[in-house]
Structure 1
Amino acid sequence: MTLKKRIIVLFLISALLPFIFLFFISYHTINSIFTNKIQDSIQGNLKQVRLSLENAIGNLNSVSQQLSFTGTIGRELEIQLASESTYERSLMTSRINSEMNLITFTNPNVGLTMYYFEKDGTYSFENTGVKPNFDPAALPLLAEYFGITYYGPHISRDRFNNKYVLSALRKVDLPSRDDVYVYIETDFKLTQSILDNGISIQHANYLFLDNDNKITYSEMPEVFPANSRFDRDSAFRSGDSSKDYYWFNETSNQGWTIVSVISRADYNKERNGWFLQVVFLSLLILPASLFLAWLLWKMVYRPLSNFSKEIKWMTSSKTAAPPARTRIPEFDQLLDQFRKMKTQIWDLILEVQQKEKRRADLEVEKLLYQINPHFLMNTLDTVHWLSVMNGQKETDRIVTSLNKLLHYNLGKLGQSSTIQDEVEALRQYLTLQQVRYDFEFQVQIEVDPSVLDMPIPRFILQPLVENSLYHGFSDNGMIQVRIAAREEIEVSIKDNGSGMTREEIHKLLQSEQIDREKVGMGIGMNYVKRMLEVYYNGKARIHIDSEPGSGTSVRLSLPFAKEEIT
């Protein structure tokens, strides 16, 4: 299929699939989203109502505590009741009324406040009129908590108020009488605002349960009558439904519980409305998707066609292509990247050519260094004198060693060698050098048998050992050659010669002309570096430790497997 057909087919599928799968997955998704949203909203409002009621009840507790015997007014009440002097009683009554008015004035959320005498069924020091036949026992009990009893919500006992309030009854604990209580109501506006909080959002109705799960207040008396018991085990589960209602609850620290009751129709109203909106919007997706398919074909397919022609023209020519623009930034960037890629490919081809030329030059340079006339002349001169002075056996030994060494060293650059062959060639070289130099030196060679057959570049060890002989070696010299297998092949060449300074080490590792300036150093460090770089593609490492007068240590870290050069 052409790109044009694929674009149209894919957009049609993407437009039709929502209609196919929408009716299978949307209900679950919408139900999950809106259930969580509605429940969180209702639970949040319910929690706010609980906190507000707890604050109101806490305020009742605080004010009632001020009116108990531990407070100033409570002690003055004790004096007023115990006094036999009419004047003193009148004076204390005036003071108590004044202080009661001050407390109610400084606590605007407090309504009716008074002292209640249980045995007499009377009350006094009320801050407003009281309805007749006042009896706290007739009020709906909400909770009992630390010596204080809470009632409500119930109709206020204030003669001028028929609104719902919360109330508290605290024992004053007077020494002279044990039937005196403080009765306090919340302000009716505060209570009504708390009950109205969040109701309009989901049309919730409230139930209040006391510590024994008995309904003390109900906004749905026809379904949940007051003074009936609310069954927590069967009905009191958040989100559970029965008789077309849903329940949610919050329990206070005092043990009373507020329940929010919502009808199924109100609970699902917002979710069903949103579902209809989704269906309506889905019907608009189909023509919009067809339009987008056509627009995408116009903006993408045609520029891609031009882009394909441009690539074909560029791949058939090595000359710089004239800049082509599609007026789409992404395609223009692709064209620029393609040109950069083409340039990089040409650069890589040139680099490979230069690398091959460098290898050829390195082989020629190796041959020039290997066929060192000074070395050959000195060796032949040594053969001459030994033949005169010591006879044929020593001469035969030297000639044999020289023959083996020259045969190994004159091998081709690309031929593979092994550590065993390299070590054997080193032994032949040391045999010749021990005869050549007029000072004594010893060589210790230790090789891990497991690495003898490992491949290694030809002619690596001899230049490093020759450097040890060249740099200030004298009598009683010692050269240690160790080859071991760890994470890599570790080659160590250590001598006890005169050593080198840091500057000399840096020059030996960095300079490419040092071997040409001092032919006596043999093939030298430069050849070893270049050979290891070519053979191992830069994965081999060379490290030199040396100090003047303390000898020199050269360490090579070589990978186990040779990386082929392409």
Structure 2
Amino acid sequence: MTLKKRIFLLFFLSAFIPFISIFAISYYTIDSIFANKIDDGIRSNLQQVTSSLENSITNLNHVTQQLSYSGTLGKKLDEVLKPSSNIFELIETRDELKSELNVVTFTNPNIGLTLYYFQDDGSTQFGNFPIKDRFAPESLPVLSKAYGITYYGPHVSMNRFDDQLVLSAMRKVKLPQRDDAYIYVESGFHLAQDILGYNQYKGDVSHLILDGEGNIVYSEIPEAMKVGENFSNLSKGAASDGIARDHHWFRQDSTQNWSVVSVISQAKYQQEKNQWLLQILLVALFFLGFTVFLAWLLWKMVYKPLGLFHSEINEMSQNPQTAGSQTRTQIPEFDFLLGEFSNMQHQIGDLFKEVQQKEKIRADLEVEKLLYQINPHFLMNTLDTVHWLAVMNGQGEIDRLVQSLNKLLYYNLGKLGQVSTMEEEIDALRQYLILQQIRYDFEFDVRISADEQVLQIPVPRFILQPLVENSLYHGLSDEGFIQIEVTRKETLNIMIQDNGAGMTEEVIERLLNNRVPEHKKVGMGIGLNYVQRMLKAQYGDQAQLVIESELGTGTSILLILPIKGEDISA
């Protein structure tokens, strides 16, 4: 870190650590105060709205009970609906029924439209107000049902002269003559608006009304939460409060099997806290500006000597073999450093000569490496000639042997440890097995199964051949088999099993730790120790090599590799 950055950092920390500490304490304290204030205000308002709605629905229940068959009005309705030959008595009874209906509605100022509804023919009678074109209670949002009465959530009034929101209830009237009669009662003018518009919190709060199953039957914010949606799904099962669709919500359940939810957008919810936070940020910006100004003043005090020192360093870096400058800054510390750089300049010249000599040696090694690669290519070309001679003379076994050896040598031209694909590794293994099956004087079976999805996974070269070579070396005989399975799960799993003579724990330990390859009997002689070291170099502790063997039964080798794709180093 440069001196300039250190100066700025020092001033920044000295000014802002106390400020940040005070800010953090104040923020959490005021945040808690604001949150409690907002939450308590909304909950109090929600409780008042719920209580008012409960009272209104209870009042509707009492009125419908008065107008049902169990009351006087219900009995008069039964008389009106009976066939009668005395028209004057019928008219008198109807007048009495209307009069008593008016008394009930006038003595209940919170009651609006009241009428009897006959479901079979869809007709209405004795309404105290004209109704809209068609009375259709089935289209109203059902809030709850209990004891033969249905309560409807806020909806537009059926009164022709009123488009306000109302609550309503419809109860079946038990008449001996008719089974389709219902009494329908709405709440009074502006009652629902006054209840839902009550806002003790004084904030921008909206309301939802839910039925007993949590479905929204009334919503003041249909753009965010629509009627018909299940609120439990939106709130992820929370019981009393939470966040849903960028809105804070608070829920109050009614004993009448419905609920009211108060909803406020997060922006409105955070508005007061954001205003306070903005003031704090303005103060923080002022402190930051003042701190930067002080740091700039201190920087100017040392800028000139630092500039001279920087120019000397640039000149040395562009021409390190030139003599050092005698410029002095009159600051002992800087003058001492310039003297040290002059000495370093002479050392850099010596290093340049050493690097040039090493580059010449490296170039010679590249030429020597190229010469070493000529011999394998010459051998491959010669084997290719032998292959065609064998084809021309009908020597199929020799042809097969030469082709497999040629392919294996071509694969071997890559350095051990370089990345290959599982498909290339399996193909090289097959060529190796062809050579061994021709060479050995006993028959053995090799079964290779690999999922299609593992073929392009990168793996280090020559990790399969030493594992299979181990099976051939340790006790495989006539009717022997080697089973190779390559599968992909979260890791790349390679399982090699044989039915050979098996090995003891001592033999397994010697194979894993013997760095001298055992190539007296078979194959490339790379050895299990190579595989173990290669896994350690390529994967660290993420790869596993597990060997299980039992004398007289066989050996099982499990190789577990992480799948890293292009992350495996070449």
TM range, smaller chain:
0.3 to 0.5
TM-score normalized by the length of structure 1 = 0.45
TM-score normalized by the length of structure 2 = 0.45
